[in-house]
Amino acid sequence: MTSFVKPFIRRKNEPTNALGLVRADYDGAMSTLCAGCGHDAVTATMARAFFELSIEPHKAVKVSGIGCSSKTTAYFLRDSHGINTVHGRMPSVATGAIAANHELAYIGVSGDGDSLSIGLGQFVHAMRRNVNMLYVLENNGVYGLTKGQFSAAADIGSTAKKGAVNELPPIDPVSLALSVGATFVARGFSGDRDQLLPLIKAGLKHKGFGLIDVISPCVSFNDHKGSTKSYAHTYKYYNPAIHADYVPPSEQIKADYAAGEVMPVKLHDGGEIRLRKLENGYDPRDRAAAIGKLFESGQSQEIITGLLYINENDKDMHEMARMEDRPLNQIPYDELNPGAAKLKELQKGFR
Amino acid sequence: MSKARINDFTIKVGNVNGTGSASANALLMKIIFRMGVPVVGKNIFPSNIQGLPTWYEIRVTEKGYRGRSGDIDIMIAMNPDSYKRDLEELSPGGILLYDDTWPRPHFLTRTDITVIGVPLARMCNTAFKVARSRILMKNVAYVGAVAALLDLDLNIIHTLLREMFAAKPKLVDLNLQAVALGYDYVKEHFPGMNDFKVEARNLTEGKVMIDGNTAAGLGCVYGGATFGAWYPITPSTSLMDAFVKYCKELRIHPETGKHKYCIIQAEDELAAAGMIIGAAWNGARCFTPTSGPGISLMSEFIGFAYYTEIPMVLFDIQRTGPSTGMPTRTQQCDILLCATASHGDTMHILLFPADPGECFEMAVNALDLAERFQTPVFVLSDIDIGMNDWMADELTWDDSYIPDRGKVLSSEDLKSVDKFHRYLDVDGDHIPYRTIPGTDPKGAYFTRGSGHNKFGGYTEDGAEYKEVVDRLKAKWKSAAEKLPVPIVKRAKKPTKTAILSLGSCDGAVIEARDKLGADGVYLNYMRVRGFPFAQAVEDFIAEHDQVFVIEQNRDAQLLGLLLSETNAPREKLIPLLHYSGEPLDYKFVRGALSEALNLRKTA
């Protein structure tokens, strides 16, 4: 519990980012999750992404719901504001927070129970609104904190630790996201940091709702034989199909690539996402293709990962609401007060 | 013929909803208002869009009473489906006006009333070509008929119609024609009708006709709210409509078209609650309007905001429950729900406006109080206040007002703080400091609805937990004297008997008390305006032998709170309850009080 205080050690010659901060500056409290939990790897990767992007910790905001995954917002970015909301309702709190100030970097952390059962409605509606945030869904197919019930992400035929077989079809967050308007849709695996790290960086830089469905096995309740969300099963069917690198505006000139191997996608901040490992002309800007690809891979049990879809053209919530650039929480009151004389004038119609 | 009753009677229009009757009724009421005579409008409408019975009451009251009279003197029966009921409701000596295109001889069964038949449909069918106009103009024609009966000022009618249809001048002539149809018919066929008259006065100077939801929406604009989230629900929808309207008018940059506000229609009330919590946590002033079912859904989030100390402003425009209840009928039935909304030990701040003027003021109060006390604040209005047009003093604004944003530390403030702890009571006023995300690395903290200690850290330690929840209770209590003060009206003579009431009961209570006073029954009256109760409430009860607690719900909810939150003895408090869903009328109050007082006397 919180009695463990994570030691803060500064090493000599430790690499620093553009802000002069070291990787440990992006840590948080000690994790209280089980040893070997996929979530801890994701937490470390998220912390690294913020570090590598040189985001000032206090300009980042962490939001989460309830569950093992939601706890992890306390385990990184100790110098950021974080809010652990109620079960399944993180998207609405994030939506309100982002409406109040769109200038911060928002990361939401949730799980398959939090997002796909109790919170399915809010999850879908945040994507519809194209709220500008990165939503990391740590997906293990099981309720961990209540000790092993199936979640809505459990595959047909997957077994529980005590042997029960799931017969209900799973809700796939990726296909859902593609159908309701998310503009950055990816799948990752907690066991593949090389792929996940650039995905998180790209997702944070994308303007609009970014979803990364991260297969993140539960070592205590869903890592057994018969589970389709175990480490073993995931490694077996894993296909890292589309690799995405985020290249900041400052580094664009240096990198070069042969046409055909890499597909660049321009971002609003002037940076670029470079997609690699694309098979036979697959274009992640094509939503129909992404849906087709997903369906195809599902047929063969393959777990397709990487950036499956990206759309930099749709308006995000802030733009759709036609809000001015200055965040709402920074507009001084004298610009909001219509004044006594105006009130008199407005009431002429009430006579 | 007896002498005419001047400026003191009630007109009721029984109609079919969806036929444009609302604008005809508004026109009728405004004519009288413009003639300088106070009016009260009560809309009793169905939860439906078209085809069901709907009623509108217009009380003409020279004395400026604000409740219903409990009598109907002129019934305009436009809906055959409700003829029977409408006929029965009419007071002896009253006038029944109906559309006799289809004669209804059974109206003649009542000999104590005057029946006036006007062939509204026939006249309109002859005069107007378009089918929809025929329906709409029938309503405008009855306004003309009533104008003839009551001697309403035709010039004012003309002016009003020109104002109403300034954008569509063609409609002015059409409406004028319809008014003339009704007016001329009555003048020709019923000359010398002289039972009820409106005589011009000068009693509406400085007054406006406004509903509470519009006033509250306007209050949110003046209070500096920049964000609102909501889910449509009768009867709160028009509050957000008003906020939208005034934001569009006042908060859009004329050149860039950019907004200084954001309004989100959420997917449900749970999300609306979450959104305003997120926005308030992030430093924007915001609110959500809803009704009882919405509060039920929001309850988990309300507890979250209470425990994590996030400002939250909720308008509950109360309607009858339980469950869906009667969605378009009024009650004060969410007092207990709002006082303790959510699981666990939670206590909230409630404000009780009695009229649109107070809706405007209390909207601003609520925004201030929520940020000062970092907690949910409920404004408990109801359908009667929220959706009816009230004659109110023109709203005024003090340009020197500065919003109370509460104890928020800026980046500059944090420089002088050694270490920031979110839930530490540094000043001994039970209110900790908060910081807004993005301000300063020193201000970072973690917000959690799970057990936390005074430093903001997670805890499962009993003593640490209690320390925080005890402070929350003390903080809540400390709000008592910071809320709008109770209003006390003393009787002309000293008395040990009193009335204690709240909100929209006020008009009927004041009138009943006046009438009883005239009969030599003296009652002091306190109207509470906030919860937790100020000390004055307990003191008021203490100085009386019996206190009638008048409220509009079945379970005596206000009385229940008085018992649990003051030391008032049970036997002193006598509930007088009205919960039919119709706005309270003074006759009910006077009757119930007389009965109770007589019973006590003889007991």
Partners of B551 in the β-ladder? B577
Alpha-carbon gap: B232 to the closest alpha carbon of chain A (Å): 16
Most B CBs within 10 Å: which of A89, A124, A315, as the mutation test of the B interface? A89
A344 vs B contacts (CB less than 8 Å): 394
B512 Cβ contact list (under 8 Å, min separation 6): B586, B587, B589, B590, B593
Residues 294-323 of B with CB under 8 A from A: 300-301, 304, 308
Is B194 inside any structural domain? yes
**Two structure tokens written together for A292:** 């087709």
Backbone angles phi, psi at A255, to 5 degrees: -75, 135
Looking at the structure, tell me whether residues B234 and B370 fall in a common domain. Answer: yes
Looking at the structure, tell me whether residues B236 and B382 fall in a common domain. Answer: yes
- Can you tell me the distance from the alpha carbon of B217 to that of B223, in angstroms, rounded to the nearest whole number? 10
- Can you tell me the distance from the alpha carbon of B347 to that of B479, in angstroms, rounded to the nearest whole number? 11
Looking at the structure, tell me whether residues B525 and B576 fall in a common domain. Answer: yes
Is A14 inside any structural domain? no
Cβ <8 Å between B274 and A95: yes
Question: DSSP secondary-structure letter at B582?
Answer: S
Alpha-carbon gap: A12 to the closest alpha carbon of chain B (Å): 24
Looking at the structure, tell me whether residues B353 and B387 fall in a common domain. Answer: yes
- Which of the residue ranges A99-108, A190-199, A208-217, A242-251 would you say has the lowest mean pLDDT? A242-251
B229 vs A contacts (CB less than 8 Å): 92, 96
Is B403 inside any structural domain? no
pLDDT band for A269, please (50, 70, 90 cuts): confident
Is B180 inside any structural domain? yes
**Two structure tokens written together for B241:** 């409509």
- Can you tell me the distance from the alpha carbon of B600 to that of B466, in angstroms, rounded to the nearest whole number? 46
Per-residue model confidence (pLDDT) at position B603 = 53
Partners of B575 in the β-ladder? B549
- Can you tell me the distance from the alpha carbon of B162 to that of A149, in angstroms, rounded to the nearest whole number? 68
Cβ <8 Å between A338 and B284: no
* Residue A3 pLDDT exceeds 50: no
**Which residue, B361, B393, B425, sits at the end of a domain?**
B393
Is A79 inside any structural domain? yes
Cβ <8 Å between B278 and A351: no
Cβ <8 Å between A340 and B208: no
The number of folded domains in chain B is 4
Q: What's the one-letter identity of residue A237? A: Y
Per-residue model confidence (pLDDT) at position A5 = 65
A281 Cβ contact list (under 8 Å, min separation 6): none
pLDDT tens digits, one per residue of B214-272:
999 999 999 999 999 999 999 999 999 999 999 999 999 999 999 999 999 999 999 99
Rounded to a whole number, what is the largest CA-CA distance in chain B?
Answer: 88
pLDDT tens digits, one per residue of B309-337:
999 999 999 999 999 999 999 999 999 99
Whether B505 and B551 have beta carbons less than 8 Å apart is answered as yes
Is A172 inside any structural domain? yes
Pick from B244, B242, B129, B236: nearest CA to B177: B129
Looking at the structure, tell me whether residues B255 and B353 fall in a common domain. Answer: yes
Whether A106 and A134 have beta carbons less than 8 Å apart is answered as yes
Is A4 inside any structural domain? no
**Which residue, B360, B393, B426, sits at the end of a domain?**
B393
Looking at the structure, tell me whether residues B149 and B21 fall in a common domain. Answer: yes
Alpha helices in B169-257, H assignment, sequence order: 169-189, 212-222, 237-250
Hey, is the C-beta of B394 within 8 angstroms of any chain A C-beta? yes
Is A338 inside any structural domain? no
Pick from A131, B450, A171: nearest CA to A122: A131
Q: Containing domain of residue B271, as a range?
A: 210-393
Cβ <8 Å between B444 and A122: no
Backbone angles phi, psi at A117, to 5 degrees: -110, -85
Is A229 inside any structural domain? yes
Per-residue model confidence (pLDDT) at position A320 = 97
- Can you tell me the distance from the alpha carbon of B353 to that of B362, in angstroms, rounded to the nearest whole number? 7
pLDDT tens digits, one per residue of A24-50:
999 999 999 999 999 999 999 999 999
Q: What's the one-letter identity of residue A211? A: L
Q: Name the residue among A104, A335, A340 with its Cβ closest to that of B438.
A: A104
Alpha-carbon gap: A105 to the closest alpha carbon of chain B (Å): 9
Q: What is the mean pLDDT of residues A337-341?
A: 98
* Residue A254 pLDDT exceeds 60: no
**Two structure tokens written together for A270:** 């002037």
* Residue A154 pLDDT exceeds 60: yes
Residues 420-479 of B with CB under 8 A from A: 435-441, 443-450, 457-460
Per-residue model confidence (pLDDT) at position A249 = 86
A334 Cβ contact list (under 8 Å, min separation 6): none
B222 Cβ contact list (under 8 Å, min separation 6): A337, A338, A343, B360, B363, B364, B397, B401
**Two structure tokens written together for B194:** 């002289």
Q: State how beta strands B114-118 and B389-393 pair.
A: unpaired
Cβ <8 Å between A350 and B209: yes
Three-state DSSP at B85 gives helix
Cβ <8 Å between A337 and B222: yes
**Two structure tokens written together for A72:** 């992890």
Whether A344 and B269 have beta carbons less than 8 Å apart is answered as no
The number of folded domains in chain A is 1
Whether B65 and B511 have beta carbons less than 8 Å apart is answered as yes
* Residue A284 pLDDT exceeds 80: yes
Is A340 inside any structural domain? no
Q: What is the mean pLDDT of residues A116-126?
A: 97
Residue of B nearest to A70 (CA): B448
Residue A165, domain CATH: 3.40.50.970
Looking at the structure, tell me whether residues B52 and B185 fall in a common domain. Answer: yes
Helix axes B131-150, B120-127, angle to 10 degrees: 130
Question: DSSP secondary-structure letter at B261?
Answer: -
Looking at the structure, tell me whether residues B415 and B388 fall in a common domain. Answer: no
**Which residue, B186, B205, B224, sits at the end of a domain?**
B205
Pick from B592, B599, B589, B598: nearest CA to B514: B589
Whether A340 and A334 have beta carbons less than 8 Å apart is answered as no
Q: Give the position of tokens 């110098």.
A: A79
Per-residue model confidence (pLDDT) at position B599 = 67
Is A351 inside any structural domain? no
Looking at the structure, tell me whether residues B461 and B497 fall in a common domain. Answer: no
> How many degrees, rounded to 5, is the angle at CA B204 between CA B198 and CA B208?
120
Most A CBs within 10 Å: which of B262, B401, B434, B440, as the mutation test of the A interface? B262
Whether B64 and B84 have beta carbons less than 8 Å apart is answered as no
Hey, is the C-beta of B282 within 8 angstroms of any chain A C-beta? yes
Looking at the structure, tell me whether residues B473 and B499 fall in a common domain. Answer: no
Looking at the structure, tell me whether residues B15 and B128 fall in a common domain. Answer: yes
Three-state DSSP at A268 gives coil
ipTM for this prediction: 0.96
B459 vs A contacts (CB less than 8 Å): 2
Residues 578-597 of B with CB under 8 A from A: none
Pick from B597, B394, B445: nearest CA to B513: B597
Per-residue model confidence (pLDDT) at position A263 = 86
Q: State how beta strands A238-247 and A272-276 pair.
A: antiparallel
Most A CBs within 10 Å: which of B275, B307, B371, as the mutation test of the A interface? B275
Is B398 inside any structural domain? no
Whether A351 and B34 have beta carbons less than 8 Å apart is answered as yes
Per-residue model confidence (pLDDT) at position B2 = 60
pLDDT tens digits, one per residue of B22-56:
899 999 999 999 999 999 999 998 888 888 999 99
Looking at the structure, tell me whether residues B168 and B46 fall in a common domain. Answer: yes
How far apart, in Å, do the first and last CA atoms of chain B sit? 45
Peptide bond into B322 cis (omega under 30): yes
Cβ <8 Å between A129 and B264: yes
Q: What is the mean pLDDT of residues A282-308?
A: 90
* Residue A273 pLDDT exceeds 80: yes
Counting Cβ atoms within 10 Å, is residue B148 exposed (0-12), middle (13-18) or buried (19+)? buried
Is B230 inside any structural domain? yes
The residues of chain B scoring below 50 in pLDDT are 1
**Chains A and B: how many Cβ contacts under 8 Å?**
219
What does each C-alpha distance from A233 to A195, A214, A324, B71 come to in angstroms?
A: 18, 14, 48, 78
A57 vs B contacts (CB less than 8 Å): 441, 444
Q: Containing domain of residue A135, as a range?
A: 23-322
